[in-house]
Amino acid sequence: MPPRIVTSEGNVTRIHRAAEPHAPAEMLDARAEVARYIGQMVLDLERMANTANLELLAYFLAMARAEADGISQVPSVTKPEREAQTQAPYRAD
């Protein structure tokens, strides 16, 4: 599958196919930034699912967060660190 690039302008997010094998650095940075943002949003949802004892949903959200972290190249956390992040009670600030 060819690489995809995500761009966002205003309220519109677009996914583009990279025309060449090596996309420009700024497009890859934008892709990583979007993935990082999605990872943070999914972490909040995962916390909510754990608080409500929605185990299967929390599992799928954890998978989505792992994928987003891999795309954005966020360093992996150890299992105890991950559990501490996701078991924290959800509080809407």
- The sign of the dihedral angle between the CA atoms of 51, 53, 54, 58 is positive
Token reading at 54: 């929605």
d(CA 81, CA 58): 16
CA 43 to chain centre: 8
73 pLDDT band, cuts 50/70/90, is confident
| Residue 38 DSSP symbol | H
Query: What is the domain partition of the chain in residue ranges?
Result: 4-87
pLDDT tens-digit profile of 5-29? 666 777 666 766 655 555 566 666 7
The whole-model pTM stands at: 0.54
pLDDT exceeds 70 at position 49: yes
Predicted confidence at residue 18, as pLDDT, reads 58
